[in-house]
Amino acid sequence: MKILLWLVGILIGIPVLILVATYGASELAGEVVTLERANDDTSTSQVRIWIVDTGENEEALIEHGAADSFWIEHLSTKPTLVLTRDGQTRTYQASPADALHDQYHELRAAKYGWGDDMVALLTGDGACEGRPVRIQPIEKS
């Protein structure tokens, strides 16, 4: 019975530790912003994501999702996103930026360092098929 309890504890504990480590690395490694993301049922969700600046006219790239994610496909009909950064909520012009995929990962690795490495290790992010999203503020700060 004792062995069974240890086995169950390990089987439950390992996934919990992976989730906690992934969350910790993503929240503690650097800047995290809040994206108001469209859902397919017309609601929105607030999602915490990483952001990197490209250095061109307030342009940034945000953490991407799968190419077939509703919120990314939705950008073709409504190319705006609401994002809160440094406590300031702004509206952004947004578009998928497939050509910037490698640049996004380079900028992310440079900005988030150990957190980027940890998240990649824990999530198996080796063969990324996601789409980065380019954003630019619609109104100037």
Give kind and range of the element (H or E) at residue 5: helix 2-28
Tens digit of each residue's pLDDT (9 = 90 or more) over 79-123? 999 999 988 999 999 999 888 988 988 998 898 888 787 777 766
Q: Walk me through the domains of the chain, giving residue ranges and CATH numbers.
A: 2-137 (2.30.110.10)
Listed range (27-36, 49-58, 67-76) with the worst mean pLDDT? 27-36
CB 137 within 8 A of CB 88: no
**Angle, CA of 44, 112 and 26, to the nearest 5°:** 45
Phi then psi for residue 84, to 5 deg, are -110, 120
Kindly tell me if the per-residue pLDDT of 59 is higher than 60.
yes
Burial-class residue 71 by CB neighbours within 10 Å (0-12, 13-18, 19+). Answer: buried
CB 140 within 8 A of CB 82: no
